[in-house]
């Protein structure tokens, strides 16, 4: 078995969740690496969308922002943020990758503040950007993050991007499109999803060498677990070669601890 790092395992696991022919709004960093890897291996007909307006590019190298000129390389179209959001509103985007400082059991995300009040927080974070729009309108929300109890919290300090809010039916009651919502969370310990009935986060596969107790110990709320639990497939030698030499040769993402 080839040796690999936790971030490489996360990227390969996320790439394996994307479907050929799907539409994906992606940002920079690890989610972009996952989309680029998938595009080079199993999802050649997948269409990437970038918030700044790139549609269907064939990314030559890792972009450093959603407005990087590489996000328009051999693209189907160079449009605008307004058009990207309108495309989400029309219901034709299958996946979006999002992140945040906090996530709770229902997949609500916080990237606005930590502690205190909105007017006087202990820590002011960047805010939504397009995350609320994307999380509200795309069919499936994917999150890639380190597994840490400070991130996986009982209750987020602020709901920047709605997940399933307070549970079954809450998202639809708030006026969001039926059938949309959180889908997967890929961490350095496991791949998590959501129970169909309760909408609570559940462990679906454990990374090699990780136990369910390890995952629960780094989560600030009680996790459900799918039965039977599977083991995340390790990256193949081909995936690692493409990831290291084509997707991120300068190690913008892979070099992270």
- Please identify every residue annotated as catalytic: 51
Note whether 41 and 15 are within 8 A (CB): yes
For 197-242, the three-class secondary structure string (H helix, E strand, C coil) is CCCCEEEEEECCCCCHHHHHHCCCCCCEEEEEEEECCCCCHHHHHH
Note whether 117 and 71 are within 8 A (CB): no
- Residue 128 CB contacts under 8 Å (≥ 6 apart), including other chains: 111, 112, 160, 161
Query: Does residue 17 sit in helix, strand or coil?
Result: coil
- Residue 13 CB contacts under 8 Å (≥ 6 apart), including other chains: 186, 191, 207, 232, 233
Note whether 98 and 135 are within 8 A (CB): yes
Backbone angles phi, psi at 15, to 5 degrees: -60, -40
Query: Does residue 115 sit in helix, strand or coil?
Result: strand
Note whether 223 and 216 are within 8 A (CB): yes
Note whether 216 and 225 are within 8 A (CB): no
Backbone angles phi, psi at 154, to 5 degrees: -60, -45
């Amino acid at each position: 078995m080839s040796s690999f790092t936790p971030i490489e395992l996360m990227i390969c696991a996320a790439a394996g969740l994307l479907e050929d022919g799907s539409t994906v709004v992606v940002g920079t960093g690890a989610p972009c690496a996952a989309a680029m890897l998938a595009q080079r291996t199993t999802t050649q007909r997948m269409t990437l969308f970038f918030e700044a307006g790139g549609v269907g590019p064939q990314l030559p190298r890792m972009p450093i922002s959603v407005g990087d000129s590489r996000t328009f390389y051999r693209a189907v179209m160079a449009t605008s943020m307004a058009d990207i959001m309108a495309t989400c509103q029309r219901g034709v985007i299958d996946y979006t990758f999002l992140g945040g400082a906090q996530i709770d059991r229902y997949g609500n995300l916080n990237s606005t503040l930590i502690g205190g009040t909105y007017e006087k927080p202990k820590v002011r974070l960047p805010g939504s950007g397009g995350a609320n729009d994307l999380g509200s309108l795309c069919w499936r929300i994917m999150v890639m993050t380190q597994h840490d109890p400070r991130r996986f919290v009982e209750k987020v300090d602020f709901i920047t991007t709605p997940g399933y809010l307070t549970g079954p039916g809450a998202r639809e009651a708030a006026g969001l499109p039926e059938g949309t919502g959180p889908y997967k969370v890929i961490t350095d310990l496991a791949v998590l999803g959501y129970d169909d009935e309760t909408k609570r986060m559940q462990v679906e596969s454990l990374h090699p060498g990780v136990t369910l107790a390890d995952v629960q110990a780094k989560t600030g709320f009680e996790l459900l677990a799918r039965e039977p639990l599977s083991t995340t497939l390790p990256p193949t030698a081909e995936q690692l070669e493409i990831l290291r030499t084509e997707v991120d040769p300068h190690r913008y993402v892979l070099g992270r601890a």
